[in-house]
Chain A
């Protein structure tokens, strides 16, 4: 395929050319990178911002009394301002740089958790949380004798409203949840949930790891108290992430890491703390990473989230169609508007690792397994799913490659295409391994039987 074919399929213009990784490899078989929910690729603008900074403006920040340290400090402060504007924070000091979402959530579990959680208290969270937003709270609960209150999901992977309300009726101290599920791709209605949770007296933490890269973020409108996310899923580098907190909430938090840069006065017996955010950023931070993240924010803002969103939905609609035609069972909400750029599927009862291995040989990069959501997998009775995830640089051609490669998986395992889809019948998304169709000519995998006894 020629490059011009490809760009005509893109709603976002020719920005694929900004990503050096796509210039590598075999032009006849370009990289079909469908794993951005794990880590996105970096555009040259972000790479160059880091190289420039590292080459010409780099020194330790804060205490240096020479020009270069001043330049470095200015770049770091300016990165904080860019990120703050990007998420709609009213004060750049509400942005705390961390090493990533995992570090942000652990910070909260220690700093907020140790102070606010006592024996018998409850922490509410959906079953679909990533281990990064589950294990820190589970361990906090174990340390304190507190209780985790699980919020159930519907078979489509949306939050079960009755279960949420039931959980809130126990007046949990904290509600924590992901903006977008990294398994189902479900976009949860954050503002609505946050409002209910606040009415029930809970502090609200949002794991924005999959949401911030894809959806317009305005912390005022989201209405949560804390927000965690990572740079490497939004075109930025690894090793940098953010914890945003409403200033009134941050002011209540004790420091978690102690050391240099976070103190005001250190005496032999005791110390006092620096102002926020330095109080929460002990030690030398990832300065170059912050510069990279800020360049990524600028890049995404230039595209604009309205276009990013419509591009995601265009790819999602196309991918669901192609995958179902290929005989795959797509998980997650049927309503496109409730989805973001993550698409999990099952294919003919095959193990996701076999599927991903065969796809990988065709340079089709997907992720397979439990996606760091073991409690969810156990709940829906699967050991894992195969997951394709999209971002700004993906095209319909990538999805064609996915579908073609999936057909190859079927060939290797001698599986005929689903007769149900051949006759134009669309299998509904299945949340679990339902009983296979008993019709002799059926694929044995799809949900036709549940919908319609006769094919």
Chain B
């Protein structure tokens, strides 16, 4: 058998395993302003993302759901990245990350700092897994684009 160095894994990097085993901001929010739901039919993965948006800023975030290491990590990183950011910034990060994974050029994304999300670059080599990495981001962007029916209070 080959002896791939497991610490060098191109897909399951250590930081991904860390997030997967200890996801950040797990748990529903007490009083969210937004409750977003995402579902990945082919994987059976589901996600409920709670946001508290005050004065155009994400002041609290929490999520519940189940999924693979890629989708859970991506969600955990999402919560870290958007917390404290304005809705506009959150949208820009979303656009930049999606463009990066899908290998597309997107105007106005060059200077966006996507932080730890770079660790998910390995997913590009596994086309069927890209949807796992994007589940939470698609859920977020759809929720932010069409907030009407999703605001709970």
Contacts and interface: CB of A to CB of B under 8 A. Distances in A.
Interface of A: 29, 350-351, 353-354, 357-358, 361-362, 369-370, 374, 377, 383-384, 401, 404, 408, 411-414
Interface string B47-74: 0000000000000000000111110000
Interface residues of B, number: 23
Contact of A411 (B1, B6, B69, B70): B6
**Max chain B C-beta neighbours (<10 A), residue from A370, A377, A404:** A370
A75 B126 CA distance: 43
A354 B128 CA distance: 12
Contact of A412 (B9, B44, B70): B9
A374 B44 contact: yes
A383 B17 contact: no
B43 A404 contact: no
A91 to B, nearest CB: 42
Nearest to B13: A412
Contacts of A412: 6, 9, 12, 17
9 contacts: A29-B1, A351-B67, A353-B68, A357-B11, A357-B126, A357-B129, A383-B43, A384-B43, A401-B1
A369 B43 CA distance: 6
B42 interface: yes
B17 A354 contact: no
Interface of B: 1-2, 4, 6, 9, 11-12, 17, 20-21, 42-46, 66-70, 126, 129, 132
Given A29-B2, A353-B132, A354-B69, A414 B17 contact: yes
A175 B95 CA distance: 51
**Max chain B C-beta neighbours (<10 A), residue from A369, A383, A412:** A412
Nearest to A409: B12
B27 to A, nearest CB: 19
A414 B22 CA distance: 13
B70 A354 contact: yes
Contacts of B42: 369
B132 to A, nearest CB: 7
A353 B12 contact: no
B1 to A, nearest CB: 6
Contacts of A354: 12, 68-70
